[in-house]
Each structure stands twice: as structure tokens, then as C-alpha cells.
Amino acid sequence: MLNIYNSLSNQKEKFIPIFENKINMYVCGMTVYDYCHLGHARVMVAFDVVYRYLKLSGYDVTYVRNITDIDDKIIQRANENGEEFTALTERFINAMHEDERALGVQKPSLEPKATENIDAILDMITQLIETGYAYRGKIINDASDVYYDVSKFEEYGKLSGRNPDDLRAGERIAVNTDKDDPLDFVLWKAAKEDEPYWDSPWGKGRPGWHIECSAMSTQMLGNHFDIHGGGHDLQFPHHENEIAQSEACTGEKFANYWMHNGFIRIDEEKMSKSLGNFFTIREVLKDYKAEVVRYFMLTSHYRSPLNYSTEQLDAANAALDRLYIAIRGLSLNVKDAVGGSEFEQRFTEAMDDDFNTPEAIAVLFDLSKEINRQNKKGNNKEAVGLGNILLKLVAPLGLLEGDVESWFKGESSADGLDNKAIDDLVQQRIDAKSNKDWAKADEIRDQLQANGISLEDNGAETIWRRD
């Protein structure tokens, strides 16, 4: 039975979907004004694993992950570049999709953009005004901001555990005196000169950030759905505000389970653009295989902080080597995997315990050791059977999906020693050994090692890999 840590109750809870065998899940996506960094990668990978595991567990899953394609940062960056904001966002949406594909992240079921859901946003704001949960600010040139009145929502703070009175006590005197309360937040922003805008009952303007997700999630999944997720930094105020405005508007509970992934840390400090200590996905992929980065993301529980370092990535690369070595040379077909093994039971127990990927990965290594043991004993049939189980279990983690030989051989090296040339040299060495020309065999081995190629002799067969 699947148990999920619910940020709303601060405890693990037995997962019971609203509709039998049907799950609706919404995850806050990226604001597209720059390349995605490792923090974004963790959100992508963490909820991709959740999505994969739920589907492989037999659920019909609708996974919605939005795109924020209009906000202050987008407008500022577009103005700095001297381009239309739509050109900027389209470029970085395409880049985001490239990063996702590299990391093996599956497409969500739906990927709504804020700019494509303005009508739903306007409808929700209108409803909030009519029911007294929102109000207009100062009207200038027939346009005004619209604010949510936090004091009207009695349960404000129930997700983050923050007391509104304590929050107010910590507030300085607001510069923006247009709000009735320093905790009130903007639903609609009146457009400034030369800013993009949409027509509304409150004049020309654009949506605030929080209302976008409430409108898109309820539009795509209904007023009440199963899982809402995102980074831990979104718990307050973004997700708190989503609950307030959504439940005030619909009169229904917003989401049953709230999931938040932990931060990426650099030298034990939170990675963020404001601190200037972040790495884009593209920067990291110049030095490491995408599967190594994905594996690294899964070595820590999704709710825990994850410390980034080259040592950690090197360790991830070595760990994946061990898994690929276990299945190298085996003729596998995941469809032939036998169910109900001890390894599958342990793996399922780990994943059912709030998607505990570190424990699940430990099971994979126990399984790989047994494959190696059977291989050494010459029990090919047993090794193949266990290899099929390994491929079945690893599927929700999105690992071992590449060609085994490509993992070890990779691409041609910069000095021009391509894969064919290496194959030819390996064969020459085999021939030299067959002719007992040990000096030539050693010379070829040294030549390959000097080019970063390791050899492994397995009887009459020799396999190679790039270091």
C-alpha cells in the first residue's frame, strides 16, 4: 500500500485516490526566462519518478505541469534583450524540453501555459471579488490591481504552519499602501507603460503568479484533485496562497496530498540564482552523462536536501557502471521478467514508502550482485532471468534505458580514435594473443590505455570501455 508524506498534515498517510484507479496530479512548473538549473532538474526528475511509478502500479494518471510564461522577470529579461516576451519564452520552453529529454523525463499529460488560460484566470478573480475574498486597489486610468483579502480566509497558514498574526508582526510598514493588509497578495496587476497586457473588467493588465496555478489546475483537473507538488520553496507563500484562493472560490478542498521536494545545495548552501551559486543543466551535461545526473538526483530521498559536488557525480557514474556491467552481454527482454521475486517485493516496499528511491536503489545493487554471481558460475539462464527483473524494477526510476555498449563506449574521442578504430585495435590484440605475440598484444593494450580505453578479457572475448 502506497504511503505519501503529506505536507498538509506533516506525516505519512495511506494514499487513497479520489476515484478508484484514477489519479490527478498537478506540479508547479518553470518560469521560462532562462535555462533550467539543477534545482529545476530535481523537480523534473522527482515527479517524473512519481508519475512513472503510479502508472506502472496500474493507475490512470493525468499529470499536469504548468508553464509560467508571463511575469516580472520575463518582462524584464525581454526588455533587456530588446525582444518580444513571447520570443523569449518560446526559446526557453524549447530549451527546457531539450533538457527534459536529455534527462529521460517523460512529457506530462498536459502542459498549460498561463497566457493560454487568461479567461479561466479572469473567471476565478471575478468569482473571488463577487464573494468578498478580493478587492480592487486604487484605480488609475481605468485600471487597477486586484488583491486577495487574506483576513477573509480563516484557514490561511494551514499548509505552511505559519500564523497570520505572527507574519503581520514581522512585516515592515508596506511601501505599497494600496493593500488593506500587508499579507494580501496580488491577483491581477495593472499594466505599466509598454508592458504586455490583456483586457479585463479591471482594466488592462496581467495575472499575478499565484492565481495562474489555481486557475490552470482546477481548469485541467477539477476543483478537488489528488496530488499537488513542487519545490519546498513554493510551500509558502505560493502554495499557501493557491489553497486560499482556490478553496475560497470553489468551496471545496483543493488537493488531498501535498508533496514538496528538497533543495539542491552547493557546499551545504541552498542553490539559487540570487546567490549566484547555481549550475544550469546544460553546464553539467557538458561534463557528465545525463543518466548520471538523473541517478544522482535519486540517491537522496526527494524530500531531503541534496548536496551537489563533482565527487557525488563521479560516484553516481561509478554506481551506474556497476549496474550496466551486471547486464552487459546478457540477452534481456523485460517482458520476460518473472513477477513476485524477493527483490521485487523489497523494491515495491521501498517505493511504497513515500517513493524512497535510495532504498529502492539499494535493492537494485543487491540484485546486480546476484546477477554477477550467477554469471561467474556460468548460470546464464539464471543471470538472464535476474537481469530481466532488474530492467523491470528500474523502469520507474528511468535508468538503464540506454544501449549497454554505448554506455561504455560512448562517442568518439577528440583525438580521432573512434569506436571503429578501437574495435580494430582490440581485434588486432586478440589476434596477437592467439599467435602468442605477447609483445604486440601488450603494445596495443598500452596504446589503448594511453587513449583512455580500458580492456576486460573474458575468456576468448575482450570488451572495452572509455574511462
**What do you get for the CA distance between the two ends of the chain, in Å?**
42
Residue type, 289: K
- Smallest Cα–Cα separation from 365: which of 429, 298, 452? 298
| Distance, CA of 456 to CA of 462 (rounded, Å) | 6
Within 192-309, residue ranges assigned H as helices are: 209-221, 240-250, 281-285, 290-298
Parallel/antiparallel/unpaired status of strands 225-231 and 255-261: parallel
Residue-by-residue pLDDT tens, the chain, 467 positions: 999 999 999 999 999 999 999 999 999 999 999 999 999 999 999 999 999 999 999 999 999 999 999 999 999 999 999 999 999 999 999 999 999 999 999 999 999 999 999 999 999 999 999 999 999 999 999 999 999 999 999 999 999 999 998 887 766 545 557 899 999 999 999 999 989 999 999 999 999 999 999 999 999 999 999 999 999 999 999 999 999 999 999 999 999 999 999 999 987 777 777 777 789 999 999 999 999 999 999 999 999 999 999 999 999 999 999 999 999 999 999 999 999 999 999 999 999 999 999 999 999 999 999 999 999 999 999 999 999 999 999 999 999 998 898 888 775 554 556 777 887 788 888 888 888 888 888 888 888 888 778 887 766 667 777 76
pLDDT at 172: 56
- String of DSSP letters for 366-403: HHHHHHHHHHHTT-HHHHHHHHHHHHHHHGGGT-S-S-
**Of all helices (H) and strands (E), which one includes residue 260?**
strand 255-261
Q: Please check whether residue 363 is in contact with residue 386, taking contact to mean a CB–CB distance below 8 angstroms.
A: no
pLDDT at 173: 47
In Å, how far from its chain's centre is CA 158? 26
Q: Please check whether residue 453 is in contact with residue 466, taking contact to mean a CB–CB distance below 8 angstroms.
A: yes
Q: Please check whether residue 400 is in contact with residue 390, taking contact to mean a CB–CB distance below 8 angstroms.
A: yes
Residue position matching grid coordinates 503510479: 54
Give the three-state DSSP class for 95: helix
- Smallest Cα–Cα separation from 44: which of 32, 34, 29? 29
| Distance, CA of 235 to CA of 240 (rounded, Å) | 6
| Distance, CA of 151 to CA of 168 (rounded, Å) | 11
* Grid coordinates of 364: 537494485
pLDDT at 208: 96
Q: Please check whether residue 289 is in contact with residue 403, taking contact to mean a CB–CB distance below 8 angstroms.
A: no
- This prediction has a pTM of 0.89
- Cα Rg for the chain, rounded, in angstroms? 27
Bond into 237 cis (ω within 30)? yes
Q: Tell me, what DSSP letter sits at residue 53?
A: H
| Distance, CA of 149 to CA of 152 (rounded, Å) | 6
Give just the sign of the alpha carbon dihedral 39, 41, 44, 47.
negative
Q: Tell me, what DSSP letter sits at residue 109?
A: S
Residue position matching grid coordinates 592467439: 434
- String of DSSP letters for 404-455: HHHHHH-SPPTTS--HHHHHHHHHHHHHHHHTT-HHHHHHHHHHHHHTTEEE
| Distance, CA of 229 to CA of 438 (rounded, Å) | 61
| Distance, CA of 254 to CA of 18 (rounded, Å) | 12
* Grid coordinates of 459: 575468456
Q: Please check whether residue 196 is in contact with residue 85, taking contact to mean a CB–CB distance below 8 angstroms.
A: yes
| Distance, CA of 40 to CA of 168 (rounded, Å) | 31
Phi and psi based region of residue 242 (left: phi greater than 0; alpha: psi -120 to 50; beta: remaining): alpha
